[in-house]
C-alpha cells in the first residue's frame, strides 16, 4: 500500500516535473520570440527612420533646383479640397486700399501699396506691400488650372533685419467672365516699357472694387472663405516663410483683361510642387 502510494506520488511528481518543464520551455521560446520581435521591430523602426531621413535628404539633394537650398515646403501646390481640414484662423482686415504705383516689371505687373493697410492673422499683424499677377494661375484647386492668379503680398510687422521675413500672401484666382472693375482701373496705367513705373494718385485704383462692384460676390464671404497652408515664395529665392491664403471664390475678369496682362508679363507661373504631407486647412 505504502509503496503503491509512493509510486503514485513519484509518478505524479515526475509527470508534474515533465509538464512544468514543458511549460517553462514554451515560455522561454515565447519569451525569445517576443524579444526577437521587439528587437526586430526596433531595428525595423531604426531602419525606417534611416530610410526616411535618407529619402528626405535625397529629395532635398536631387529634386531641389540647382543652386537653391530649399526644403520641402515649396509653393504652389495643387489644393485638394476634400483632403483639407477645417481650419480655425482668425483673420481681420484693416484695409485703407491705397495703391500709389503701377509697374511693368517685365516678368509681372506690380501695384504698390501706400503704407498703412494691414491684415491681422491669429494675433500677428502683416502690412500690405504689393500686388502682382501670374498668368496662368500657379495654385491649382482640385487639379484645375485657372487663367490668372493675383498675389497680395504682406510682410510681418516688427521683424528685425536679421530675421527671415515672414510673409502672408492672399491669393485670388480668376476665371474668364465679366469685366473686372479693379483691373479696369489700372490696366491703362501699366507702362508699355519694361522696368518703368507710373505713379497713381490716391483713390484712382481701389482694390475693394475687385469684388465690391460685382453683385455676385459678397465681400465678407469672399475674404472669409479660403484654403490655408505653409509654403514658399514662387519666385527666387523661394523662401519657405509664407503663410498662404488661397481664396475659395474664383473672381471674374474678362478674357481681354487676362490676355492683356499675359501679353505684358508672358507665362510666369511656377509649376506645382510636391506637398510632402503638409496640411491644408479650409474655412
- CA geometry: angle 156, 141, 107, nearest 5 deg: 60
How far apart are CB 85 and Zn ion at their closest, in Å? 25
Dist. CA 213–CA 219, nearest whole Å: 10
DSSP for residue 162: T
Least Å from the CB of residue 132 to Zn ion: 5
Q: Which residue has the cell 514662387?
A: 234
Contacts with Zn ion by CB under 5 A: the residue count is 1
Which segments of the chain does DSSP mark as H helices, in order? 2-62, 181-186, 209-212, 219-223, 255-265
Q: Between 178 and 270, whose beta carbon lies closer to Zn ion?
A: 270
Taking the C-alpha atoms of residue 102 and residue 199, their distance in angstroms, rounded to an integer, is 6
Quote the CA–CA distance of 214 and 151 in Å, as a whole number: 20
Say whether residue 129 binds Zn ion (CB under 5 A). no
Closer to Zn ion by Cβ: residue 39 or 68: 68
- Residue whose CB is nearest to Zn ion in the complex, by number: 151
CA atoms of 188 and 260, how far apart (whole Å): 10
CB of 138: closest distance to Zn ion in angstroms?
A: 7
Shortest gap between Cβ of 264 and Zn ion (angstroms)? Answer: 15
Nearer to Zn ion, 133 or 182 (CB): 133
Question: Is 105 or 250 the residue whose CB approaches Zn ion more closely?
Answer: 105
| Those residues with Cβ within 8 angstroms of residue 254's Cβ, 6 or more apart along the chain or in another chain | 176, 177, 178, 179, 180
Beta carbon of residue 123, minimum distance to Zn ion (angstroms, whole number): 25
Partners of residue 126 on adjacent β-strands? 119, 156
Q: How far is the CB of 150 from Zn ion (least distance, A)?
A: 8
Query: Binding marks (x or -) toward Zn ion, 76..115, rule CB under 5 A?
Result: ----------------------------------------
Contacts of 82 (CB under 8 A, 6+ apart): none
Residue number with CB closer to Zn ion (14 or 128)? 128
Measured CA to CA, the distance from residue 137 to residue 247 in angstroms comes to 13
Yes or no: say if 103 and 110 are a contact pair by the CB < 8 Å rule: yes
108/257 with CB nearer Zn ion: 108
Cβ 46 to Zn ion, closest distance in Å?
42
Q: Which is nearer to Zn ion, 129 or 151 (CB)?
A: 151
User: Least distance in Å: CB of 163 to Zn ion?
Assistant: 22
Q: In the window 143-172, what residues touch Zn ion (CB under 5 A)?
A: 151
Residues 49-68 that bind Zn ion (CB under 5 A): none
Which residues between 240 and 269 bind Zn ion (CB under 5 A)?
Answer: none
Nearer to Zn ion, 233 or 280 (CB): 233
Q: Is the dihedral of CA 137, 250, 167, 104 positive or negative?
A: positive
Are the C-beta atoms of 136 and 146 separated by less than 8 Å? yes
Give residues in contact with Zn ion (CB under 5 A). Answer: 151
Amino acid at each position: 500500500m505504502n509503496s503503491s502510494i509512493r509510486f503514485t506520488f513519484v509518478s505524479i511528481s515526475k509527470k508534474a516535473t515533465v509538464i512544468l518543464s514543458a511549460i517553462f520551455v514554451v515560455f522561454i521560446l515565447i519569451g525569445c520570440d517576443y524579444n526577437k520581435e521587439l528587437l526586430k521591430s526596433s531595428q525595423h523602426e531604426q531602419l525606417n527612420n534611416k530610410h526616411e531621413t535618407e529619402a528626405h535628404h535625397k529629395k532635398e539633394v536631387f529634386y531641389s533646383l540647382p543652386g537653391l537650398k530649399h526644403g520641402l515646403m515649396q509653393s504652389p501646390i495643387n489644393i485638394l479640397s476634400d483632403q483639407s481640414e477645417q481650419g480655425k484662423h482668425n483673420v481681420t482686415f484693416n484695409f485703407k486700399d491705397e495703391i500709389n504705383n503701377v509697374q511693368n516689371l517685365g516678368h509681372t505687373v506690380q501695384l504698390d501699396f501706400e503704407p498703412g493697410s494691414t491684415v491681422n492673422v491669429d494675433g500677428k499683424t502683416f502690412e500690405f506691400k504689393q500686388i502682382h499677377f501670374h498668368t496662368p494661375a500657379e495654385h491649382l484647386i482640385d487639379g484645375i488650372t485657372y487663367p490668372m492668379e493675383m498675389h497680395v503680398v504682406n510682410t510681418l510687422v516688427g521683424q528685425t533685419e536679421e530675421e527671415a521675413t515672414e510673409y502672408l500672401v492672399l491669393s485670388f484666382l480668376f476665371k474668364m467672365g465679366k469685366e473686372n472693375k479693379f483691373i479696369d482701373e489700372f490696366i491703362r496705367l501699366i507702362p508699355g516699357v519694361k522696368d518703368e513705373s507710373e505713379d497713381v494718385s490716391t483713390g484712382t485704383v481701389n482694390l475693394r472694387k475687385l469684388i465690391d462692384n460685382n453683385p455676385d460676390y459678397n465681400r465678407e464671404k469672399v475674404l472669409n472663405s479660403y484654403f490655408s497652408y505653409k509654403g514658399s515664395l514662387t519666385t527666387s529665392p523661394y523662401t519657405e516663410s509664407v503663410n498662404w491664403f488661397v481664396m475659395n471664390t474664383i473672381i471674374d475678369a474678362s478674357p481681354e483683361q487676362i490676355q492683356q496682362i499675359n501679353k505684358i508679363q508672358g507665362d510666369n507661373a511656377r509649376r506645382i510642387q510636391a506637398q510632402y504631407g503638409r496640411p491644408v486647412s479650409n474655412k
